[in-house]
A and B are shown apart, each in its own frame.
Chain A
Amino acid sequence: MKTEKIIIRLYEEVGGDAAISVNDGDAIFKKIDNAISNGLLVVLDFQNINLIITAFLNACIGQLYSKYTSAQLNQYLELKNISPENNHLFLKVIKRAKEYFENPESFDKSAKEVMGDD
Protein backbone atom coordinates (compact mmCIF):
# COMPACT_ATOMS: atom_id res chain seq x y z
CA MET A 1 0.00 0.00 0.00
CA LYS A 2 1.32 3.40 -0.90
CA THR A 3 2.03 6.08 1.71
CA GLU A 4 -0.67 8.73 1.81
CA LYS A 5 0.49 10.74 4.78
CA ILE A 6 3.87 11.76 6.15
CA ILE A 7 4.64 13.08 9.61
CA ILE A 8 7.33 15.73 9.99
CA ARG A 9 8.43 15.95 13.61
CA LEU A 10 9.89 19.35 14.31
CA TYR A 11 11.85 18.22 17.37
CA GLU A 12 13.78 15.83 15.17
CA GLU A 13 14.08 18.22 12.23
CA VAL A 14 15.48 21.15 14.20
CA GLY A 15 17.53 19.02 16.58
CA GLY A 16 15.93 20.14 19.83
CA ASP A 17 13.12 22.09 21.41
CA ALA A 18 13.79 25.42 19.69
CA ALA A 19 12.50 26.33 16.24
CA ILE A 20 14.63 29.43 15.82
CA SER A 21 16.59 28.98 12.61
CA VAL A 22 15.40 30.38 9.29
CA ASN A 23 17.50 27.74 7.54
CA ASP A 24 15.68 24.98 9.43
CA GLY A 25 12.36 26.61 8.55
CA ASP A 26 13.34 26.77 4.90
CA ALA A 27 14.44 23.11 4.87
CA ILE A 28 11.13 22.02 6.39
CA PHE A 29 9.21 24.16 3.88
CA LYS A 30 10.98 22.25 1.09
CA LYS A 31 9.98 18.91 2.67
CA ILE A 32 6.36 19.99 2.98
CA ASP A 33 6.36 21.35 -0.56
CA ASN A 34 7.87 18.16 -1.92
CA ALA A 35 5.29 16.00 -0.15
CA ILE A 36 2.26 18.10 -1.11
CA SER A 37 3.36 18.37 -4.71
CA ASN A 38 3.43 14.56 -4.72
CA GLY A 39 -0.14 14.44 -3.46
CA LEU A 40 0.70 13.47 0.13
CA LEU A 41 -0.95 14.72 3.28
CA VAL A 42 1.53 16.27 5.71
CA VAL A 43 1.30 16.30 9.49
CA LEU A 44 3.61 18.89 11.03
CA ASP A 45 4.08 17.81 14.63
CA PHE A 46 5.26 20.43 17.13
CA GLN A 47 5.42 18.07 20.09
CA ASN A 48 8.27 18.99 22.52
CA ILE A 49 8.91 22.30 20.75
CA ASN A 50 9.09 24.96 23.45
CA LEU A 51 10.38 27.96 21.55
CA ILE A 52 9.24 29.20 18.14
CA ILE A 53 10.06 32.52 16.53
CA THR A 54 8.20 34.23 13.71
CA ALA A 55 11.20 34.17 11.36
CA PHE A 56 11.15 30.37 11.53
CA LEU A 57 7.39 30.21 10.93
CA ASN A 58 7.59 32.69 8.06
CA ALA A 59 10.11 30.43 6.32
CA CYS A 60 8.42 27.15 7.21
CA ILE A 61 4.72 28.01 6.84
CA GLY A 62 4.38 31.56 5.50
CA GLN A 63 6.40 30.62 2.44
CA LEU A 64 3.85 27.90 1.53
CA TYR A 65 1.44 30.63 0.44
CA SER A 66 3.77 31.46 -2.44
CA LYS A 67 2.77 28.11 -3.95
CA TYR A 68 -0.48 26.95 -2.42
CA THR A 69 -3.94 28.35 -1.73
CA SER A 70 -5.60 28.27 1.68
CA ALA A 71 -7.92 25.54 0.43
CA GLN A 72 -4.99 23.37 -0.66
CA LEU A 73 -3.20 23.86 2.66
CA ASN A 74 -6.36 23.05 4.63
CA GLN A 75 -6.65 19.87 2.60
CA TYR A 76 -3.02 18.73 2.68
CA LEU A 77 -1.44 20.15 5.83
CA GLU A 78 -2.27 19.44 9.46
CA LEU A 79 -0.58 21.17 12.39
CA LYS A 80 -0.36 19.12 15.56
CA ASN A 81 0.61 19.69 19.19
CA ILE A 82 0.87 23.48 19.11
CA SER A 83 0.97 24.87 22.63
CA PRO A 84 -1.63 27.53 23.57
CA GLU A 85 1.21 30.04 24.16
CA ASN A 86 2.32 29.73 20.55
CA ASN A 87 -1.13 29.70 18.96
CA HIS A 88 -1.19 33.45 18.33
CA LEU A 89 2.11 33.30 16.42
CA PHE A 90 0.67 30.88 13.87
CA LEU A 91 -2.42 33.03 13.42
CA LYS A 92 -0.31 36.14 12.84
CA VAL A 93 2.10 34.41 10.45
CA ILE A 94 -0.74 32.91 8.41
CA LYS A 95 -2.67 36.19 8.25
CA ARG A 96 0.48 38.03 7.25
CA ALA A 97 1.42 35.49 4.56
CA LYS A 98 -2.04 35.60 3.01
CA GLU A 99 -1.95 39.38 2.78
CA TYR A 100 1.63 39.39 1.54
CA PHE A 101 1.07 36.99 -1.34
CA GLU A 102 -2.42 38.13 -2.23
CA ASN A 103 -1.41 41.69 -2.94
CA PRO A 104 2.32 42.41 -2.67
CA GLU A 105 2.00 45.71 -4.55
CA SER A 106 -0.20 47.19 -1.83
CA PHE A 107 2.62 46.66 0.66
CA ASP A 108 5.03 48.64 -1.50
CA LYS A 109 2.49 51.42 -1.87
CA SER A 110 1.72 51.70 1.84
CA ALA A 111 5.45 51.57 2.58
CA LYS A 112 6.10 54.62 0.44
CA GLU A 113 3.12 56.43 1.91
CA VAL A 114 4.46 55.99 5.43
CA MET A 115 7.74 57.53 4.35
CA GLY A 116 5.93 60.43 2.70
CA ASP A 117 7.23 59.36 -0.68
CA ASP A 118 4.06 58.53 -2.56
Chain B
Amino acid sequence: MRKVFKIPGNVNSDFKGYSFLSKLHYELEQIAFEEIDLDFSKNTWFEANLCAALGAIINKANSNFNNISIINLKQKQKNIFSRNHFLAAFGGEKIIDRNETTIKYRRNKLSDDKLIKEFLDKELITKPDFPKLSVAAKGEIIRSIFEIYSNAVIHGDCTEVFSCGQFFPQRVPSCIDFTIVDIGRTIPKNVNDFLKTDASGIDTIHWALLENNTTKPKEKNIPGGLGLKIIKDFARLNRGKIQIASGNGYYQLEKGREKFISLTHPFPGTLVNLEFNLNDQSFYYLLREKPEDIIF
Protein backbone atom coordinates (compact mmCIF):
# COMPACT_ATOMS: atom_id res chain seq x y z
CA MET B 1 0.00 0.00 0.00
CA ARG B 2 1.24 3.48 -0.87
CA LYS B 3 2.35 5.68 2.01
CA VAL B 4 0.97 9.20 1.92
CA PHE B 5 2.49 12.33 3.45
CA LYS B 6 0.32 15.43 3.53
CA ILE B 7 1.96 18.75 2.82
CA PRO B 8 0.47 21.46 5.09
CA GLY B 9 -1.54 24.43 3.81
CA ASN B 10 1.33 26.92 3.87
CA VAL B 11 5.03 26.21 3.70
CA ASN B 12 7.08 29.38 3.98
CA SER B 13 10.75 30.19 4.38
CA ASP B 14 10.47 30.46 8.14
CA PHE B 15 11.08 28.39 11.25
CA LYS B 16 7.72 26.64 10.87
CA GLY B 17 8.46 25.77 7.25
CA TYR B 18 11.92 24.43 8.04
CA SER B 19 10.53 22.47 11.00
CA PHE B 20 8.03 20.81 8.66
CA LEU B 21 10.73 19.95 6.12
CA SER B 22 12.97 18.51 8.85
CA LYS B 23 10.09 16.42 10.18
CA LEU B 24 9.26 15.21 6.67
CA HIS B 25 12.85 14.09 6.21
CA TYR B 26 12.84 12.39 9.60
CA GLU B 27 9.70 10.42 8.77
CA LEU B 28 10.84 9.49 5.25
CA GLU B 29 14.19 8.37 6.63
CA GLN B 30 12.41 5.54 8.48
CA ILE B 31 11.02 4.09 5.24
CA ALA B 32 12.63 1.89 2.59
CA PHE B 33 11.40 -0.02 -0.49
CA GLU B 34 8.04 1.80 -0.57
CA GLU B 35 5.85 3.76 -2.96
CA ILE B 36 5.35 7.18 -1.33
CA ASP B 37 3.06 10.07 -2.25
CA LEU B 38 3.68 13.66 -1.20
CA ASP B 39 0.11 14.93 -1.22
CA PHE B 40 -0.33 18.64 -1.89
CA SER B 41 -4.16 18.58 -1.80
CA LYS B 42 -4.28 20.78 1.31
CA ASN B 43 -1.42 23.00 0.26
CA THR B 44 -2.14 26.43 -1.16
CA TRP B 45 1.28 28.05 -0.77
CA PHE B 46 4.72 26.47 -0.97
CA GLU B 47 7.48 29.02 -1.33
CA ALA B 48 9.19 27.97 -4.53
CA ASN B 49 12.77 28.50 -3.35
CA LEU B 50 12.10 25.70 -0.84
CA CYS B 51 12.04 23.28 -3.78
CA ALA B 52 15.80 23.08 -3.09
CA ALA B 53 15.05 21.53 0.31
CA LEU B 54 12.21 19.34 -0.93
CA GLY B 55 14.37 18.09 -3.81
CA ALA B 56 17.22 17.26 -1.44
CA ILE B 57 14.87 15.42 0.92
CA ILE B 58 13.25 13.44 -1.92
CA ASN B 59 16.65 12.47 -3.29
CA LYS B 60 17.76 11.33 0.15
CA ALA B 61 14.57 9.29 0.61
CA ASN B 62 14.90 7.76 -2.85
CA SER B 63 18.35 6.55 -1.92
CA ASN B 64 16.51 4.17 0.45
CA PHE B 65 14.98 2.55 -2.67
CA ASN B 66 11.68 4.38 -2.36
CA ASN B 67 9.69 5.81 -5.25
CA ILE B 68 8.31 9.20 -4.34
CA SER B 69 5.55 10.91 -6.31
CA ILE B 70 4.22 14.44 -5.97
CA ILE B 71 0.42 14.39 -6.22
CA ASN B 72 -2.60 16.70 -6.12
CA LEU B 73 -0.75 19.89 -6.86
CA LYS B 74 -3.06 22.82 -7.45
CA GLN B 75 -2.74 24.43 -10.84
CA LYS B 76 -0.94 27.47 -9.44
CA GLN B 77 1.75 25.38 -7.73
CA LYS B 78 2.01 23.06 -10.69
CA ASN B 79 2.65 26.06 -12.88
CA ILE B 80 5.41 27.45 -10.62
CA PHE B 81 7.03 24.04 -10.08
CA SER B 82 7.01 23.52 -13.86
CA ARG B 83 8.46 26.97 -14.53
CA ASN B 84 11.28 26.45 -12.04
CA HIS B 85 11.95 22.96 -13.47
CA PHE B 86 11.37 21.26 -10.12
CA LEU B 87 8.73 18.89 -11.49
CA ALA B 88 10.92 18.08 -14.47
CA ALA B 89 13.45 16.59 -12.06
CA PHE B 90 10.81 14.15 -10.83
CA GLY B 91 9.16 13.09 -14.05
CA GLY B 92 6.92 16.13 -14.63
CA GLU B 93 7.01 18.75 -17.33
CA LYS B 94 8.94 21.98 -17.58
CA ILE B 95 7.58 25.13 -19.12
CA ILE B 96 9.08 28.47 -20.06
CA ASP B 97 9.07 31.03 -17.25
CA ARG B 98 7.63 33.99 -19.13
CA ASN B 99 7.21 35.93 -15.85
CA GLU B 100 10.96 35.62 -15.21
CA THR B 101 10.36 35.13 -11.49
CA THR B 102 12.03 31.77 -10.93
CA ILE B 103 15.65 30.78 -10.49
CA LYS B 104 15.61 27.20 -11.70
CA TYR B 105 15.82 24.25 -9.35
CA ARG B 106 19.20 22.59 -9.79
CA ARG B 107 21.01 19.62 -8.42
CA ASN B 108 24.53 20.94 -8.86
CA LYS B 109 27.69 18.92 -9.05
CA LEU B 110 30.08 21.00 -7.00
CA SER B 111 32.92 20.32 -9.40
CA ASP B 112 30.99 22.40 -11.95
CA ASP B 113 31.47 25.67 -10.08
CA LYS B 114 32.09 27.66 -13.24
CA LEU B 115 28.94 26.31 -14.83
CA ILE B 116 27.03 27.27 -11.69
CA LYS B 117 28.42 30.80 -12.03
CA GLU B 118 27.33 31.02 -15.68
CA PHE B 119 23.90 29.67 -14.78
CA LEU B 120 23.41 32.19 -11.98
CA ASP B 121 24.61 35.11 -14.07
CA LYS B 122 22.09 34.16 -16.74
CA GLU B 123 19.25 33.52 -14.30
CA LEU B 124 19.71 36.67 -12.22
CA ILE B 125 20.31 39.11 -15.02
CA THR B 126 16.85 38.49 -16.47
CA LYS B 127 14.99 39.21 -13.24
CA PRO B 128 12.99 42.40 -12.90
CA ASP B 129 14.74 44.90 -10.60
CA PHE B 130 17.99 42.91 -10.47
CA PRO B 131 19.62 44.91 -13.27
CA LYS B 132 18.69 48.12 -11.41
CA LEU B 133 20.90 47.22 -8.47
CA SER B 134 24.28 48.87 -8.13
CA VAL B 135 27.28 46.95 -9.42
CA ALA B 136 28.42 46.58 -5.80
CA ALA B 137 25.10 45.08 -4.68
CA LYS B 138 24.99 42.62 -7.59
CA GLY B 139 28.54 41.58 -6.85
CA GLU B 140 27.83 41.05 -3.16
CA ILE B 141 24.72 38.98 -3.91
CA ILE B 142 26.59 36.63 -6.20
CA ARG B 143 29.52 36.48 -3.80
CA SER B 144 27.20 35.57 -0.90
CA ILE B 145 25.76 32.69 -2.91
CA PHE B 146 29.22 31.36 -3.77
CA GLU B 147 30.48 31.68 -0.21
CA ILE B 148 27.66 29.29 0.70
CA TYR B 149 28.46 26.90 -2.15
CA SER B 150 32.06 26.95 -1.04
CA ASN B 151 31.07 26.17 2.55
CA ALA B 152 29.15 23.13 1.31
CA VAL B 153 32.23 21.86 -0.50
CA ILE B 154 34.65 22.53 2.35
CA HIS B 155 32.51 21.69 5.36
CA GLY B 156 29.59 19.63 4.07
CA ASP B 157 32.02 17.14 2.55
CA CYS B 158 29.51 16.49 -0.21
CA THR B 159 29.72 16.37 -3.97
CA GLU B 160 26.49 18.10 -4.85
CA VAL B 161 24.10 20.75 -3.60
CA PHE B 162 20.50 21.58 -4.39
CA SER B 163 19.51 25.12 -5.15
CA CYS B 164 16.41 27.05 -6.15
CA GLY B 165 15.38 30.67 -6.03
CA GLN B 166 12.29 32.77 -6.33
CA PHE B 167 11.82 36.42 -7.14
CA PHE B 168 9.01 38.17 -5.24
CA PRO B 169 8.28 41.38 -7.16
CA GLN B 170 5.04 42.14 -5.28
CA ARG B 171 6.62 42.25 -1.84
CA VAL B 172 7.76 45.50 -0.36
CA PRO B 173 10.66 45.70 -0.79
CA SER B 174 10.87 43.34 -3.75
CA CYS B 175 13.28 40.53 -3.03
CA ILE B 176 14.87 37.31 -4.18
CA ASP B 177 15.05 34.26 -1.95
CA PHE B 178 17.77 31.81 -2.87
CA THR B 179 18.04 28.50 -1.03
CA ILE B 180 21.06 26.20 -1.06
CA VAL B 181 20.93 22.76 0.54
CA ASP B 182 23.56 20.12 1.04
CA ILE B 183 22.91 16.74 2.51
CA GLY B 184 26.37 16.50 4.00
CA ARG B 185 27.94 16.89 7.40
CA THR B 186 25.94 19.28 9.56
CA ILE B 187 27.37 22.33 11.32
CA PRO B 188 26.76 20.76 14.78
CA LYS B 189 28.59 17.59 13.73
CA ASN B 190 31.54 19.50 12.26
CA VAL B 191 31.89 21.87 15.20
CA ASN B 192 31.52 19.19 17.86
CA ASP B 193 34.04 16.93 16.11
CA PHE B 194 36.48 19.82 15.73
CA LEU B 195 36.19 21.11 19.30
CA LYS B 196 35.65 17.66 20.81
CA THR B 197 32.47 18.89 22.48
CA ASP B 198 28.88 17.72 22.65
CA ALA B 199 27.23 21.11 22.29
CA SER B 200 23.70 21.81 21.08
CA GLY B 201 22.77 22.75 17.53
CA ILE B 202 22.21 26.34 18.63
CA ASP B 203 25.58 26.66 20.38
CA THR B 204 27.49 25.14 17.49
CA ILE B 205 25.84 27.41 14.92
CA HIS B 206 26.52 30.38 17.18
CA TRP B 207 30.18 29.36 17.29
CA ALA B 208 30.39 28.84 13.53
CA LEU B 209 29.00 32.31 12.87
CA LEU B 210 31.62 34.13 14.92
CA GLU B 211 34.31 35.76 12.83
CA ASN B 212 37.49 33.70 12.50
CA ASN B 213 35.98 30.45 13.75
CA THR B 214 36.49 27.60 11.34
CA THR B 215 36.51 23.82 11.48
CA LYS B 216 39.11 23.53 8.73
CA PRO B 217 41.84 21.11 9.79
CA LYS B 218 44.92 23.07 10.90
CA GLU B 219 47.31 20.76 9.07
CA LYS B 220 45.93 22.03 5.77
CA ASN B 221 47.44 25.44 6.52
CA ILE B 222 44.55 27.33 4.94
CA PRO B 223 42.87 29.86 7.22
CA GLY B 224 39.10 30.20 7.21
CA GLY B 225 36.20 31.60 9.18
CA LEU B 226 35.39 34.68 7.12
CA GLY B 227 32.70 33.65 4.65
CA LEU B 228 29.64 33.61 6.92
CA LYS B 229 30.71 36.82 8.66
CA ILE B 230 30.96 38.62 5.33
CA ILE B 231 27.50 37.38 4.33
CA LYS B 232 26.09 38.57 7.66
CA ASP B 233 27.65 42.00 7.18
CA PHE B 234 26.14 42.21 3.71
CA ALA B 235 22.69 41.06 4.89
CA ARG B 236 22.73 43.88 7.43
CA LEU B 237 23.72 46.49 4.85
CA ASN B 238 21.25 45.19 2.29
CA ARG B 239 18.50 44.77 4.90
CA GLY B 240 18.11 41.20 3.72
CA LYS B 241 17.75 37.95 5.57
CA ILE B 242 19.80 34.83 6.34
CA GLN B 243 18.34 31.58 7.60
CA ILE B 244 20.33 28.46 8.41
CA ALA B 245 18.97 25.07 9.41
CA SER B 246 21.57 22.42 10.20
CA GLY B 247 21.18 19.40 12.44
CA ASN B 248 19.18 20.51 15.47
CA GLY B 249 20.04 24.17 15.08
CA TYR B 250 18.22 27.03 13.39
CA TYR B 251 19.53 30.55 12.93
CA GLN B 252 17.92 33.64 11.46
CA LEU B 253 19.13 37.17 10.86
CA GLU B 254 16.34 39.52 9.85
CA LYS B 255 16.13 43.30 10.18
CA GLY B 256 19.41 43.19 12.07
CA ARG B 257 18.01 40.84 14.74
CA GLU B 258 19.39 37.37 15.31
CA LYS B 259 17.42 34.35 16.48
CA PHE B 260 18.69 30.91 17.49
CA ILE B 261 16.10 28.15 17.91
CA SER B 262 16.33 24.35 18.32
CA LEU B 263 14.72 22.15 15.70
CA THR B 264 12.83 19.17 17.10
CA HIS B 265 13.79 17.01 14.13
CA PRO B 266 17.30 17.51 12.81
CA PHE B 267 17.78 18.84 9.32
CA PRO B 268 19.83 16.25 7.41
CA GLY B 269 22.64 18.55 6.26
CA THR B 270 22.72 22.30 5.93
CA LEU B 271 20.11 24.57 4.43
CA VAL B 272 20.91 28.22 3.87
CA ASN B 273 18.28 30.63 2.63
CA LEU B 274 19.44 34.08 1.60
CA GLU B 275 16.90 36.82 1.00
CA PHE B 276 18.17 39.82 -0.93
CA ASN B 277 16.45 43.16 -0.91
CA LEU B 278 16.25 44.41 -4.49
CA ASN B 279 15.23 47.98 -3.64
CA ASP B 280 18.73 48.75 -2.58
CA GLN B 281 20.90 51.23 -4.42
CA SER B 282 23.71 51.36 -1.89
CA PHE B 283 27.30 51.43 -3.04
CA TYR B 284 28.62 49.27 -0.28
CA TYR B 285 32.29 49.88 -0.62
CA LEU B 286 31.68 53.61 -0.18
CA LEU B 287 30.07 52.84 3.14
CA ARG B 288 33.21 51.14 4.30
CA GLU B 289 36.36 53.00 5.08
CA LYS B 290 38.14 54.39 2.03
CA PRO B 291 39.85 51.50 0.22
CA GLU B 292 43.21 51.03 1.89
CA ASP B 293 46.49 50.03 0.36
CA ILE B 294 47.02 46.35 0.75
CA ILE B 295 50.07 45.71 2.87
CA PHE B 296 51.06 42.16 3.74
CB of B195 closer than 8 Å to a CB of A = yes
Query: Quick check: B135 and A85 within 8 Å, CB to CB?
Result: yes
CB of B91 closer than 8 Å to a CB of A = no
Per the CB 8 Å criterion, the residue count for chain B at the interface is 43
Residues in B neighbouring A59, C-beta threshold 8 A: 222
Residues in B neighbouring A16, C-beta threshold 8 A: 114, 117
Q: Is the interface of B mostly helix, strand, loop or mixed?
A: helix
- Which of B114, B143, B207 sits near A15, CB closer than 8 Å? B114
Query: Quick check: B213 and A50 within 8 Å, CB to CB?
Result: no
**Stretch from B1-9, B39-47, B244-252, B288-296 that touches the partner:** B288-296
> Within the assembled complex, what's the spacing in Å between the Cα atoms of A62 and B296?
10
Query: Quick one: which of B206-249 are within 8 Å of A by CB?
Result: 206-207, 210, 212-213, 218, 221-227, 230
Residues in B neighbouring A112, C-beta threshold 8 A: 195, 197
CB of A52 closer than 8 Å to a CB of B = yes
> Within the assembled complex, what's the spacing in Å between the Cα atoms of A62 and B136?
24
Residues in A neighbouring B224, C-beta threshold 8 A: 55, 58
Q: Mark A85-118, 1 if CB is under 8 A from B, else 0.
A: 1011111111011011100100100011011110
Name, among B140, B212, B218, B230, the residue most crowded by chain A CB atoms within 10 Å (CB to CB): B212
Query: Quick check: A54 and B292 within 8 Å, CB to CB?
Result: no
Query: Quick one: which of A15-65 are within 8 Å of B by CB?
Result: 15-16, 18, 20-22, 26, 50-56, 58-59, 62-63, 65
> Within the assembled complex, what's the spacing in Å between the Cα atoms of A30 and B33?
49
> Within the assembled complex, what's the spacing in Å between the Cα atoms of A88 and B140?
12
Q: Is the interface of A mostly helix, strand, loop or mixed?
A: helix
> Within the assembled complex, what's the spacing in Å between the Cα atoms of A73 and B296?
6
Query: Quick check: B221 and A84 within 8 Å, CB to CB?
Result: no
Query: Quick check: A55 and B294 within 8 Å, CB to CB?
Result: no
Query: Shortest CB–CB separation between residue B166 and chain A, in angstroms?
Result: 22
> Within the assembled complex, what's the spacing in Å between the Cα atoms of A50 and B149?
17
Query: Quick check: A114 and B294 within 8 Å, CB to CB?
Result: no
Residues in B neighbouring A55, C-beta threshold 8 A: 147, 150-151, 154, 224, 227
A-B contacts, 7 of them at CB < 8 A, read A20-B114, A51-B117, A51-B139, A58-B224, A101-B223, A114-B210, A116-B203
In the A-B complex, the 9 residue pairs with the closest CB atoms = A73-B296, A87-B291, A55-B150, A66-B221, A100-B223, A54-B226, A62-B223, A70-B296, A18-B117
Question: 15 additional contacts, CB 8 Å, given A94-B294, A104-B218?
Answer: A16-B117, A20-B113, A22-B154, A51-B142, A52-B143, A53-B147, A53-B227, A59-B222, A82-B294, A87-B291, A89-B230, A90-B294, A100-B223, A107-B213, A112-B197
